[in-house]
């Protein structure tokens, strides 16, 4: 301050007009200072300048500075002024903000009240709907012009004021406009009032005008109210929902799903838990579950079932002119022992001997025969329903016609019915082959009548299902059967385009010692050629050779032709679909993608444990012990046979569970899975590859090799038996009767007994029976013969007994003495 004081006289000197002047500031504040005239004159404008363009220049301009004021003083004054100004501004802002808030609150209340009123009015209006509509029509007809007016002034806050006049139609437009602005205002944080006013006024209009015309639904009003409430609460704008299109593949990791929805992982996990799915963010869930979650979060799901990589094999519809007739594919079904295999062999052999010399038949899972009339028929050489259903369940609809074999000496049996149901479910036409008609006791008509009960009405019973009496043994009726099939095929008009990249289904696949993985593929469309690059299930390859059902090498195979395909990189599974693709890279990419997808799916299946499942499992765990195993086999058939055999092992307490089964060598993946579940790996006619062997050694996973199913079953049975809890058997070893009861100090009550039967043993268990009712079970504290503690007392002898922790004994009670024995059990 001393500095300032010292300079003031200088200022007085320089400016004689100085004196004691009352300074007044813009907001009513006054101040008496000596040099105020100068300050007022010079500084204030400067501060104004400083306010506009920053204090730096104002303070540093000595030419406009009053004499006698130092730089420092100047700066202080400037700062003081700026601060005052800033204060004023802040105050003004605050006031404005408060005012705005108050107004918003008022608006909100008004809107709410109006909305309520409006709801009531709408109800009234609904009653007068007819009348109102007519009125509106009249009004609209008479005042069509004002309609575009509001459109001309979009976004103007004044617009609603003008809306006092217009008719109902523009009012609606305005309302919507107001709304729009509201939304926009929401995001920008400004223009709210205008938007609201627009909305409000029109609502007023709607209420007072009773135009009866178009008005907003209650839901729309509620939405608006909600928006306002959110606005009033502030900060809600950011949370406004953005609905996203969420792409979901067949399985998706929880964290990835959250990411794609732009939601918090924790929230997603929470909603999964609410659904009973106990998962962590790193677990995968399937698309169905994901869909529920996506919907819950209000997004739209886009399921991408096939990944982009697969798209190269989809699409391309065949045009009608490209389609050529193709042979039908036939599956023979029927009850066990009704002659399916015999019939298949008979058809094949009759044909082979007729056509080929030598007739060496090779079973590749399917074969083709030619009827006398020249029609080609493709038979699937895997009788039974398992093959049919497993193919179908894998999405390979291969069969065109089912031949239902029913033995004439046995008629309709359970599996016959099953076969009928399968064929019906697959919507595949049936032909009934009544077999074993050579037998004297054969009664084909009985078969026909019984089939009626299962809604199979054969032609002889005036139905439309063809029936043929055959004998696989004598060959009777076989040609007739083939013709019947050819006829049925004609009706079906089966067609395919031989001039396109082949696609087909794997009928059978195996790991051949000499030839590597081999798959029998039934070409379904297109033509498969040597050198073609293909993907089949999770495997891929390049056709090295094609072998037909007669064992001949062929260069190509067209629609409905079964061929063995060599050149695979791994063994696919029956039912897998083969597709020819253009490049090796594509094939590999698709195969890899599928392998990963399958892995994910398995993981998801494991992870997707609902609470119910967990509970069920916990319950089951109490009673049923499970022996998990992994089975790898050389061919699909043995795999199925083993699974069936395994399912049969076990009872209510022990069960064998085949965790995974597949065709081909035992791989590291198998070992990994086995380790995770503590399961042994069983190789049936296959071996573990080197990495799998070392991995198994490392992880302590047991690998067992078998080539005879019975050995395998016996071993698994023995292992499963080990899981059976030992049975506890009770053997009664004696009875004693209490004659007297003594009190012995230090011991308590002692029973003077006579062993009436068997022996009494010190270590045995005892039960106290009174009137043949068990009143206590426990052990003995003492067993005395005269004064001595003994181990055993024989029948007919007297002894003293005292119970451990039990005193209530009376003369006449009977003591039952028993021993427990643990007996190991075996599965039968
Ligand atoms: P699948 O279990 O249905 O495959 O029946 P199979 O083909 O194994 O036949 C079962 C039994 O019936 C075998 O002993 C056959 O010899 C016999 N069999 C099959 N077809 C005929 C037939 O047409 N006539 C007679 N007499 N026996 C037959």
Report helix, strand or coil for 763. Answer: coil
Smallest CA separation from ligand 1 atom 19, residue: 339
For ligand 1, whether the C-beta of 342 sits within 6 Å is yes
Contact residues for 125 (Cβ-Cβ < 8 A; gap 6+)? 132, 212, 215
Name 704's bridge partners: 682
Indicate which atom in ligand 1 lies nearest the CA of residue 334: 3
For residue 338, the ligand 1 atom closest to its alpha carbon is 3
> Are the C-beta atoms of 639 and 663 separated by less than 8 Å?
yes
Q: Look up residue 43 and give its DSSP letter.
A: I
DSSP letter assigned to residue 40: I
> How many Å lie between the centroid of ligand 1 and the Cα of residue 365?
19
521 CA distance to ligand 1 middle (Å): 28
Closest C-alpha residue for ligand 1 atom 22:
436
DSSP readout, 594-642?
HHHHHHHHHHHHHH--BHHHHHHHHHHHHH-EEEEEEEEESBHHHHHHH
Mutate to test the pocket of ligand 1, among 472, 475, 641 (most ligand atoms within 8 A of CB): 472
Domain count, the chain: 6
Quick one: which atom of ligand 1 is closest to the CA of 474? 23
Q: Is the CB of 279 under 6 A from ligand 1?
A: no
Mean pLDDT by 10 residues, the chain (828 residues): 41 44 60 50 43 40 50 67 71 75 77 72 65 63 48 40 40 41 41 44 47 60 76 58 80 86 89 84 85 89 68 71 91 89 86 49 80 88 66 73 93 86 85 94 93 90 92 92 94 92 89 87 93 92 92 92 93 88 87 82 54 52 71 83 83 78 84 79 86 85 84 83 71 90 85 92 89 85 88 91 89 90 71
Q: Is the CB–ligand 1 distance for residue 475 below 6 Å?
A: no
Decide whether any atom of ligand 1 lies within 6 Å of the 439 Cβ: yes
Q: Is 153 part of a structural domain of the chain?
A: no
DSSP per residue, 285-305: EEHHHHHHHHHHTT-EEEE--
Residues 735 and 712 in one domain: no
The rounded Å distance from CA 340 to ligand 1 centre is: 7
DSSP 3-state assignment of 162? helix
Residue 221 to residues 113, 228, 243, 518, Cα–Cα distance (Å): 12, 11, 21, 69
**Residue 328: phi, psi to the nearest 5?**
-80, 155
522 CA distance to ligand 1 middle (Å): 27
Q: How far apart are CA 215 and CA 174, in angstroms?
A: 12
Task: Specify the residue with its C-alpha closest to ligand 1, atom 10.
Answer: 337
Q: Which of 673, 699, 721 is the last residue of a domain?
A: 721
Residue of minimum CA distance from atom 14 in ligand 1? 337
CA 342 to ligand 1 center in whole angstroms:
5
Q: How far apart are the first and last CA of the chain?
A: 111
For the Cβ of 336 lying below 6 angstroms from any atom of ligand 1, the answer is: yes
Q: Clarify whether residues 298 and 446 are in a common domain.
A: no
Residue nearest to atom 24 of ligand 1 (CA): 436
**Ligand 1: centre distance to CA 108 (Å):** 87
Residue 322 domain-assigned (yes or no): no
346 and 405 fall within a common domain: yes
Q: Quick check: CB of 383 below 6 Å from ligand 1?
A: yes
Cβ 472 under 6 angstroms from ligand 1: yes
Ligand 1 site, residue 479, Cβ cutoff 6 A: no
Distance 398 CA to ligand 1 centre (A): 25
In this prediction, residue 125 carries a pLDDT of 66
Q: Which pLDDT score is estimated for 7? A: 41
In a domain, 315, yes or no: no
- The atom number, within ligand 1, closest to the CA of 344 reads 7
The phi and psi torsions of 703 (rounded to 5 degrees) equal: -115, 130
Of all atoms in ligand 1, which is nearest to the CA of residue 336? 2
Beta bridge partners of 768: 776, 815
Domain's final residue, options 96, 114, 132? 114
In DSSP terms, 579 is beta-bridged to 503, 535
Domain assignment present for 692: yes
pTM for the full predicted model: 0.46
**Does the Cβ of 452 fall within 6 Å of ligand 1?**
no
| Percent of the chain that is helix, strand, coil (3-state, to 5) | 45, 25, 30
Q: What are phi and psi of 349, to 5 degrees?
A: -65, -40
Cβ within 8 Å of residue 661, ≥6 positions away: 630, 631, 632, 633, 639, 642, 643
Residues 716 and 731 in one domain: no
**Cβ of 471 below 6 Å from ligand 1:** yes
User: DSSP states of 380-440 as a string?
Assistant: ES--SHHHHHHHHHTT----SEEEEEEETTT---HHHHHHHHHHHHTT--EEEEEE-TTST
Q: Which residue has the tokens 């002889």?
A: 460
* 726 within ligand 1 shell (Cβ under 6 A): no
Rounded Cα distance between 480 and 486, Å, is 10
Ligand 1 contact, 413 CB (< 6 A)? no
Query: Is there a contact between 351 and 375 (Cβ–Cβ < 8 Å)?
Result: no
- 339 alpha carbon – ligand 1 mean position (Å): 4
Ligand 1 pocket test, candidate residues 333, 337, 402, 447, most atoms within 8 A of CB: 337
> Cα of 336 to ligand 1 centre, how many Å?
9
Q: Is the CB of 341 under 6 A from ligand 1?
A: yes
Q: Does the CB atom of residue 340 touch ligand 1 within 6 A?
A: yes
Q: Are residues 66 and 86 in the same domain?
A: yes
C-alpha distances (whole Å) from 559 to each of 325, 482, 523, 556, 617 are 9, 19, 5, 10, 47
Does some domain include residue 125?
no
Q: Which domain holds residue 427?
A: 327-489
Mutate to test the pocket of ligand 1, among 332, 337, 339 (most ligand atoms within 8 A of CB): 339
Is 683 in contact with 536 (CB distance < 8 Å)? no
Q: How far apart are CA 653 and CA 725, in angstroms?
A: 9
State whether 370 and 479 are in the same domain.
yes
* CA 407 – ligand 1 centroid, Å: 8
State whether the beta carbon of 243 lies less than 6 angstroms from ligand 1.
Answer: no
Shortest-distance Cα residue to atom 9 of ligand 1 = 339
* Residue 483 Cβ contacting ligand 1 at under 6 Å: no
In short, whether 408's Cβ falls inside 6 Å of ligand 1 is: no
Beta carbon of 473 within 6 Å of any ligand 1 atom: yes
* Boundary (domain end) residue, out of 95, 114, 133: 114
Does a structural domain hold residue 646?
yes
Per the domain annotation, does 426 fall within a domain? yes
Which residue blocks in 734-819 are alpha helix, DSSP H? none
Pocket test for ligand 1, best of 331, 332, 342, 416 (most atoms within 8 A of CB): 342
Are residue 646 and residue 699 in the same domain, yes or no?
A: yes
CB of 345 shorter than 6 A to ligand 1: no
Q: Is the CB of 65 under 6 A from ligand 1?
A: no
- What CATH number is attached to the domain comprising 284? 1.10.10
Distance 383 CA to ligand 1 centre (A): 13
Q: What is residue 626's predicted lDDT score, i.e. its pLDDT?
A: 77
Q: Please report the pLDDT score of residue 112 as a whole number.
A: 73
Distance 508 CA to ligand 1 centre (A): 24
| Contact yes or no for 449/482 (Cβ under 8 A) | no
- Centroid of ligand 1 to alpha carbon of 338 (angstroms): 6
CATH number, residue 385: 3.40.50.300
CB atoms within 10 A of CB 487: 15
Together in a domain, 371 and 484: yes
Same domain, 346 and 458: yes
pLDDT at 198: 44
The whole-number pLDDT of residue 8 equals 41
Q: Is the CB of 435 under 6 A from ligand 1?
A: yes
Instruction: Give the residues across from 521 on adjacent strands.
Output: 506, 563
Looking at residue 429, its pLDDT comes to 93
Q: What is the atom index within ligand 1 of the atom nearest the CA of 383?
A: 4
483 shares a domain with 361: yes
Verify that 440 and 350 share a domain, yes or no: yes
- Tell me the C-alpha distance between 400 and 397, whole Å: 8
612 token code pair? 């119910």
Cα–Cα distance, 713 to 127 (Å, whole number): 79
Interatomic CA distance for residues 376 and 371, integer angstroms: 6
Q: Count of residues for the chain?
A: 828
The CATH number assigned to the domain holding 676 equals 3.40.50.10050
Which protein residue has the closest C-alpha to ligand 1 atom 2?
A: 337
Both 674 and 613 in one domain: the answer is: yes
In a domain, 780, yes or no: yes
Closest CA to ligand 1's atom 27: 436
pLDDT of residue 234: 58
Q: Which residue is closest in CA terms to ligand 1's atom 17?
A: 339
- CATH, residue 736: 2.40.30.10
């Amino acid at each position: 301050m001393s500095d300032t004081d010292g300079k003031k006289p200088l200022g007085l000197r320089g400016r004689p007009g100085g004196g004691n002047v009352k300074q007044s500031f813009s907001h009513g504040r006054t101040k008496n200072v000596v040099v105020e005239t100068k300050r007022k004159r010079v500084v204030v404008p400067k501060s104004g300048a400083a306010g506009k363009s920053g204090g730096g220049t104002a303070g540093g301009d000595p030419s406009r500075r009053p004499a006698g004021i130092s730089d420092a003083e100047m700066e202080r004054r400037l700062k003081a002024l700026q601060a005052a100004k800033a204060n004023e501004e802040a105050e003004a802002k605050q006031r404005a903000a408060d005012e705005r808030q108050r107004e918003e609150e008022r608006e909100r209340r008004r809107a709410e009240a109006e909305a309520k009123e409006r709801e009531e009015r709408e109800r009234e209006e609904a009653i007068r709907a007819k009348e109102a509509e007519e009125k509106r029509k009249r009004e609209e007809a008479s005042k069509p012009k004002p309609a575009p007016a509001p459109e001309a002034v979009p976004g103007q806050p004044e617009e609603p004021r003008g809306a006092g006049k217009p008719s109902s139609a523009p009012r609606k437009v305005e309302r919507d406009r107001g709304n729009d602005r509201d939304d926009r205002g929401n995001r920008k944080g400004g223009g709210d009032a205008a938007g609201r006013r627009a909305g409000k006024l029109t609502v007023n209009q709607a209420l007072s005008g009773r135009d009866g015309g178009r008005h907003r639904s209650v839901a729309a009003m509620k939405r608006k109210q909600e928006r306002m409430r959110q606005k009033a609460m502030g900060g809600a704008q950011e949370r406004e929902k953005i609905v996203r299109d969420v792409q979901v593949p067949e399985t998706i990791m929880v964290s990835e799903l959250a990411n794609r929805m732009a939601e918090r992982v924790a929230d997603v996990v929470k909603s999964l838990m609410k659904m009973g799915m106990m998962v962590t963010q790193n677990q995968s869930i399937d698309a169905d579950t994901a869909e529920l979650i996506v919907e819950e979060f209000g997004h739209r799901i886009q399921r991408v079932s096939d990944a982009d990589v697969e798209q190269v094999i989809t699409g391309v519809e065949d045009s009608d002119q490209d389609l050529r007739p193709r042979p039908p594919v036939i599956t023979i079904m029927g009850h066990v022992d009704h002659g399916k295999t015999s019939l298949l062999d008979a058809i094949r052999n009759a044909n082979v001997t007729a056509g080929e010399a030598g007739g060496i038949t090779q079973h590749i899972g399917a074969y083709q025969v030619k009827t006398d009339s020249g029609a080609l028929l493709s038979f699937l050489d895997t009788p039974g329903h398992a093959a049919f259903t497993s193919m179908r369940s894998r999405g390979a609809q291969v069969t065109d016609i089912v031949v239902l074999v029913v033995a004439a000496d046995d008629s309709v049996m359970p599996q016959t019915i099953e076969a009928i149901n399968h064929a019906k479910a697959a919507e595949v036409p049936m032909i009934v082959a009544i077999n074993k008609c050579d037998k004297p006791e054969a009664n084909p008509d009985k078969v026909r009548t019984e089939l009626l009960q299962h809604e199979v009405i054969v032609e002889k019973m005036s139905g439309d299902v063809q029936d043929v009496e055959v004998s696989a043994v004598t060959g009777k009726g076989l040609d007739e059967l083939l013709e019947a099939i050819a006829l049925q095929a004609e009706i079906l008009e089966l067609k395919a385009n031989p001039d396109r990249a082949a696609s087909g289904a794997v009928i059978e696949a195996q790991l051949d010692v000499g030839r590597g993985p081999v798959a029998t593929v039934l070409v379904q469309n297109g033509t498969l050629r040597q050198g073609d690059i293909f993907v089949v299930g999770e495997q891929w390859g390049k056709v090295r050779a094609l072998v037909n059902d007669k064992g001949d090498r062929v260069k190509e195979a067209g629609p409905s032709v079964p061929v063995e395909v060599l050149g695979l990189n791994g063994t696919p599974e029956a039912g897998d679909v083969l597709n020819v693709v253009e490049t090796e890279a594509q094939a590999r990419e698709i195969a890899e993608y599928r392998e990963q997808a399958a892995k994910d799916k398995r993981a998801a299946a494991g992870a997707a444990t609902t609470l119910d499942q967990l509970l069920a499992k916990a319950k089951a765990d109490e009673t049923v012990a499970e022996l998990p195993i992994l089975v790898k086999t050389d061919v699909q058939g043995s795999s199925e046979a083993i699974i069936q055999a395994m399912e049969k092992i076990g009872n209510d307490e022990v069960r064998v569970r085949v965790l995974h089964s597949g065709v081909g060598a035992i791989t590291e993946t198998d070992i990994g899975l086995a380790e995770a579940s503590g399961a042994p790996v069983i190789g049936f006619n296959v071996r573990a590859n080197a990495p799998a062997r070392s991995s198994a050694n490392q992880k302590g996973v047991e690998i067992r090799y078998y080539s005879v199913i019975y050995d395998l079953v016996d071993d698994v049975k023995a292992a499963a038996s080990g899981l059976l809890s030992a049975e506890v058997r009770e053997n009664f070893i004696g009875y004693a009767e209490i004659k007297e009861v003594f009190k012995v100090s230090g011991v308590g009550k002692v029973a003077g007994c006579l062993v009436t039967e068997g022996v009494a043993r010190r270590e045995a268990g005892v039960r106290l029976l009174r009137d043949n009712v068990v009143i206590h079970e426990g052990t003995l504290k003492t067993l005395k013969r005269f004064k001595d503690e003994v181990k055993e007392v024989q029948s007919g002898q007297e002894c003293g007994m005292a119970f451990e922790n039990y005193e209530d004994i009376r003369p006449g009670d009977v003591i039952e003495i028993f021993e427990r024995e643990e007996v190991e059990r075996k599965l039968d």
